[in-house]
């Protein structure tokens, strides 16, 4: 029965992860909360990291020609700093408080996008100072619980990227972030060779789902795609806030 409950959570988590690597916005963030139903969040984050990396390889291939190099040049060093900060404070900062702060920022940003009047604006260039701040926040929250999407989107969504470049830049950046998380996760004992068989089995649906995600992104209208991104950001941000400050 325990094995049945585990796989009932693990297979959907792997599929969501793969679809996220295929460019479907934010759905990969659901994987850790879903796995947390059958194990501790820390164990879930460690178990899922190698599967993220396997599915990253397929996402990198799918979006190898679609990315914003300036955004990556700004955010790669910033996310590196954020991961290092997460490693240094791993035993000091409660995960739920970090998630709550990130969720609050993401919810306010998403609500503002949904409530304001639509207007036509020219795409904005990626600025360095905000990119360094939000990049560090992305790396930190990704290290804590693979929840780097809200701060990343707060920075990138106003830049006016096309949906393919938006998805490709996200895929490339988070592939890098996941790769550099391997060392601190291993050092903290969050990755176990004993889980290798489970990792390989979960990697099969995750890898297949990458191409399902790419297929879906290519067929979604641009306006609908970013509307879904915004609503997904709002709902997941509210979930992070709820997890940090539950009522009752």
Q: What is the pTM of this model?
A: 0.78
pLDDT value of residue 81: 97
Contact by Cβ (8 Å): 35, 5: no
pLDDT value of residue 118: 57
pLDDT tens string for the chain (248 positions)? 458 888 888 898 889 888 888 887 767 777 777 777 787 777 777 888 888 888 888 888 888 888 999 999 999 999 999 999 989 887 776 767 766 776 777 777 778 777 876 554 566 788 999 999 999 999 998 888 777 888 898 899 889 888 889 889 998 999 999 999 999 988 888 787 777 788 888 888 988 898 888 888 888 887 787 787 778 778 777 877 787 776 55
pLDDT value of residue 178: 93
CA–CA gap between residue 248 and residue 216 (Å, rounded):
39
pLDDT value of residue 115: 81
pLDDT value of residue 123: 67
CA–CA gap between residue 224 and residue 211 (Å, rounded):
20
* DSSP SS3 for 66: coil
CA–CA gap between residue 86 and residue 84 (Å, rounded):
5
User: What are the residue ranges of helices labelled H in the chain?
Assistant: 2-21, 31-35, 41-62, 69-88, 95-115, 128-145, 149-156, 163-187, 196-219, 222-244
DSSP structure class, residue 30: G
pLDDT value of residue 23: 80
Contact by Cβ (8 Å): 155, 169: no
Contact by Cβ (8 Å): 145, 45: yes
CA–CA gap between residue 21 and residue 201 (Å, rounded):
18
* DSSP SS3 for 185: helix
pLDDT value of residue 173: 95
Q: What φ, ψ does residue 63 adopt, rounded to 5°?
A: -115, 30
CA–CA gap between residue 206 and residue 179 (Å, rounded):
17
Name the residue among 25, 7, 5, 6 with its Cα closest to residue 16: 25
């Amino acid at each position: 029965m325990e094995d049945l409950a585990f796989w009932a959570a693990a297979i959907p988590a792997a599929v969501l992860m793969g679809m996220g690597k295929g460019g479907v916005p934010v759905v990969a963030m659901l994987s850790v909360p879903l796995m947390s139903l059958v194990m501790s969040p820390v164990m879930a984050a460690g178990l899922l990291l190698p599967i993220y990396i396997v599915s990253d390889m397929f996402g990198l291939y799918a979006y190898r020609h679609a990315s914003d190099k300036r955004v990556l040049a700004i955010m790669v060093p910033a996310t590196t700093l954020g991961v290092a900060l997460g490693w240094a404070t791993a035993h000091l900062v409660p995960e739920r408080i970090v998630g709550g702060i990130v969720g609050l920022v993401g919810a306010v940003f998403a609500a503002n996008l949904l409530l304001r009047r639509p207007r036509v604006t020219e795409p904005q260039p990626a600025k360095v100072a905000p990119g360094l701040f939000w990049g560090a926040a992305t790396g930190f929250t990704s290290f804590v619980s693979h929840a780097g999407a809200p701060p990343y989107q707060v920075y990138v969504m106003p830049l006016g990227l096309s949906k393919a470049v938006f998805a490709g830049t996200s895929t490339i950046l988070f592939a890098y972030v996941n790769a550099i998380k391997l060392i601190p996760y291993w050092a903290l004992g969050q990755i176990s060779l004993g889980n290798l068989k489970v990792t390989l089995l979960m990697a099969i649906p995750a890898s297949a789902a990458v191409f399902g995600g790419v297929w879906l992104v290519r067929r979604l209208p641009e306006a609908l795609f970013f509307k879904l991104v915004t609503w997904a950001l709002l709902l997941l941000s509210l979930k992070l806030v709820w997890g940090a400050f539950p009522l009752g």
